Structure 1
Amino acid sequence: MSNFRQFYDHRNQATRIDLFEELTDHSLAALRSFTRRLGAPHLLEEVILPKLREGDSQLLTAVQDRPWPPWGLGARFVTAVCQTHAISDASYAVSPVYVTDEDLTNVGMISAVFKEALDQLAVNPRAEVCYLVAENSTLVNHVLTQSGFKRSDDVFVTWAGRYHTYRALAGDVLKHFGLDKHSVPDLLAHDLDTSLLEKNALFHQTLYLGSRAEWASERTISEIIGLVRGAHASKPGGVPSGSGRFAFDPERDIFFDWVANFLGGGATGPTSPVNRLLDYVVHHEKDFKPATIVERNAAAPSVNEKIRRALTLDKLGEFEATLVEHIKSQLQGVLQRLKRKPFALGRIEMQITASGDGSYFKMHQDSDGKDTRELSFVYFFHREPRRFSGGELRIFESRMVDGKLLPADHSHTLAPRQDAIVFFPPLNEHEVLPVRVPSGQFGDNRFTINGWIHRQ
């Protein structure tokens, strides 16, 4: 232990732990330098800052100050970062403690940053720490369960796989790793026994390496992925709904159905349906209008960017007939897989949605139960390689409680995939998670065709 302490002693003696809920120009410059040295410069603009702007997020950093003047820009040196953000009431996603290569085995500093993050959360005795872990995980599952985390049954689905949430009370995590009895100076000095050192080292290295494929290389397959928060809103605007009643049994477990390679013809060729559709939306960029919603008890659609932020185009040109034809050809199979009864097909309404930087759609339903909408659908298309992040579609299962249809605890989060369409009942609540488009170019947006299939 003495040799280990000596190796990091000088470095950690000059280190302090800072908490940020908002950033100054100087601290922002220090973070940019850190993420650049980390080899993941996109992490700041695409992950850290958007979460801070959403609120209910804190940034814990290990910082060293330059010991000579001037004390302004460039005087602060960040050596570790951990971010927490609320994903629901008293539930928090906690990032791994990001460190550069020179501090990968600086377990004391990593544990000190983690302790400060959990201390902030544990003020609320109900606060829980959450991680999203791939189904059938081996090492991460073992380490988290041995650390007191319990796996929930709710499943998040991406094209890389299925993921489960692991939860533990923040106070219990502090106790398990001995952080409740050790001060930050003790941890920075590695003044803890060997068993605690090993326990903390295994936990943090597992989180760091298990999530690295997502945040460092932006690959699609990662054993641990980031959690996002939900919200609540109302149904989208567009073509006025018909009249009728809702005929869906909410006790069914299957509540969405994916169809891949929907239009076919390849996704990258210049004459492929996807590329022709992309050319169409870019050509009609000026015709897109701010997206609307229909507020509860409202007579007409209106724009409310607190709930929905995007642009829409109601005219699909030649593509409308193509989409209708493909939907009709898939409808019987979709209804069978969703275990829904056939119905006399009415009209199919649809619109193109362009989700640019900062776009989102909070949780809502596509029907009030009094119209003729039988199915909702979302068709995804975008430029290759994909130039946006986020924009996942999260669909909630529904349950009947005291005669009311309410969102259940289970949900599926579906990442956008080229030339794929998802069908689901319009009364199931769903949301579009925030979209990030670094270039700001219209053609780089997340594009979808949203629609509703009516019965006669």
Structure 2
Amino acid sequence: MTMNRLEEFELDCVSEVDPSFEVPARAFLRRIGRSRLFDELIRPALDEGSALVAVAQRTRPWPPWGIGARTISAMEIAVPRAEGTAGLTSVLAVPEEGTEIGLLAAVHATLLDGLAERGVERVHLTVREGAAFGEWLAARAGFERSDSLVLTEHSRYWLHDAPIDEHRRAIGIEGADVDDLVTGGALKDDAYASTAMYLLGVTQALGPSWDEQFVSGEIIANTGPGMVAACLPPGGPPALEQ
């Protein structure tokens, strides 16, 4: 049976854990070797009520219900940092879809749409200080370094943020329809190159952190408290020597 890409995939945003999402999400993460992300990131963030997950999934032809009826092919997670802002991650995908730029872009656009509908105006990447590729990639995607610092045990990271619309424009998906992204019709020439560079670049830079290969990746997921401002001491965070 032959299907076109629009018939094959359903794109949606998930904001809570239920069996219809948990079962295919666990199967998807297990297949790509990142099972730990469900219990260590996705479930806690969704249970807290702050996260959003965009998915591209298939539904089997018949019966289209019951356990195993849905299969996730790609996913991206966003975790709000404070009111009106959210941290982005990479688009995770099964191997056969890993370079399908149209599908990856459609998942990313679906997530941005979902965030905007929830009042999020700005998005960010968390980039290691001095990381040449990470800083270059963030700048190409419309992000500018903010004054928000994240300290791990090993490295200093800065949030690089941008208005959602500016980020869309910078990576070549401004005004693009999700359906056209899935089919590949919305991405041509420079737009394709910009979108591919961003999506594959973030995947490469964030991958070692997802896989726990080393602790100071160029880009990491900002998985701290959803509302950082509410956790700050009087007067803000402690001053650090530059």
Q: TM-score, normalised by structure 2?
A: 0.88
**Residues 188 and 161 (structure 1 numbering): CA distance in 2 closer, same or farther, change over 3 Å?**
same
Q: CA deviation at 1:179?
A: 2.5
Cα distance per residue 1:304-360 (max 9 Å; x no partner): xxxxxxxxxxxxxxxxxxxxxxxxxxxxxxxxxxxxxxxxxxxxxxxxxxxxxxxxx
**1:229 has 2:225 as partner:** yes
**For 2:235, what is the secondary structure of its paired residue?**
strand
Structure 1 residues 181-260: aligned runs within 5 Å: 181-191=175-185, 192-217=187-212, 219-227=214-222, 228-229=224-225
Structure 2's unaligned 5+ residue stretches are none
1:58–1:84 CA contact under 8 A, matched in 2: yes
**1:165 has 2:159 as partner:** yes
Partner of 1:81: 75
**Residues 73 and 172 (structure 1 numbering): CA distance in 2 closer, same or farther, change over 3 Å?**
same
Q: 1:94 aligns with which of 88, 91, 113?
A: 88
- 1:134 & 1:171 partners in 2: Cα distance? 24
Q: CA deviation at 1:221?
A: 2.2
Q: Give the number of equivalent residue pairs.
A: 236
Q: Once the two structures are aligned, what percentage of the paired residues are identical?
A: 26
**For 1:122, what is the secondary structure of its paired residue?**
helix
Cα distance per residue 1:376-432 (max 9 Å; x no partner): xxxxxxxxxxxxxxxxxxxx6xxxxxxxxx4236678xxxxxxxxxxxxxxxxxxxx
- 1:232 & 1:70 partners in 2: Cα distance? 41
Partner of 2:142: 148
2:172–2:194 CA contact under 8 A, matched in 1: no
1:154–1:409 CA contact under 8 A, matched in 2: no
- 2:188 & 2:215 partners in 1: Cα distance? 38
2:146–2:161 CA contact under 8 A, matched in 1: yes
**For 2:231, what is the secondary structure of its paired residue?**
strand
Cα distance per residue 1:138-175 (max 9 Å; x no partner): 11211211222101233322232111110001121123
2:206–2:219 CA contact under 8 A, matched in 1: yes
Partner of 2:49: 55
**1:45 has 2:45 as partner:** no
Cα distance per residue 1:158-210 (max 9 Å; x no partner): 23211111000112112333423221110011112121111001001111111
Structure 1 residues 102-141: aligned runs within 5 Å: 102-123=96-117, 127-141=121-135
Cα distance per residue 1:4-39 (max 9 Å; x no partner): xxxxx8455401101111132132110010000111
**1:30 has 2:24 as partner:** yes
User: Greater relative contact order: 1 or 2 (C-alpha under 8 angstroms, separation 6 or more)?
Assistant: 2
Structure 1 residues 316-335: aligned runs within 5 Å: none
**1:408 has 2:236 as partner:** yes
2:74–2:104 CA contact under 8 A, matched in 1: yes
Q: CA deviation at 1:137?
A: 0.9
- 1:410 & 1:150 partners in 2: Cα distance? 22
Structure 1's unaligned 5+ residue stretches are 1-8, 234-361, 365-395, 397-405, 413-456
Structure 2 letter corresponding to 1:120? G
1:82–1:96 CA contact under 8 A, matched in 2: yes
- 1:12 & 1:138 partners in 2: Cα distance? 38
- 1:176 & 1:151 partners in 2: Cα distance? 15
Partner of 1:436: none
1:155–1:165 CA contact under 8 A, matched in 2: yes
**Residues 118 and 94 (structure 1 numbering): CA distance in 2 closer, same or farther, change over 3 Å?**
same
| Structure whose alpha-carbon radius of gyration is higher | 1
**For 2:134, what is the secondary structure of its paired residue?**
helix
Cα distance per residue 1:42-73 (max 9 Å; x no partner): 01111111110111221110010111226211
- 2:77 & 2:191 partners in 1: Cα distance? 23
**Residues 231 and 104 (structure 1 numbering): CA distance in 2 closer, same or farther, change over 3 Å?**
closer
- 1:31 & 1:153 partners in 2: Cα distance? 35
Structure 2 letter corresponding to 1:363? C
- 1:232 & 1:224 partners in 2: Cα distance? 19
Q: CA deviation at 1:220?
A: 1.3
**Residues 74 and 229 (structure 1 numbering): CA distance in 2 closer, same or farther, change over 3 Å?**
same
Partner of 1:437: none
CA RMSD of aligned residues (A): 2.4
Partner of 1:307: none
**Residues 171 and 125 (structure 1 numbering): CA distance in 2 closer, same or farther, change over 3 Å?**
farther
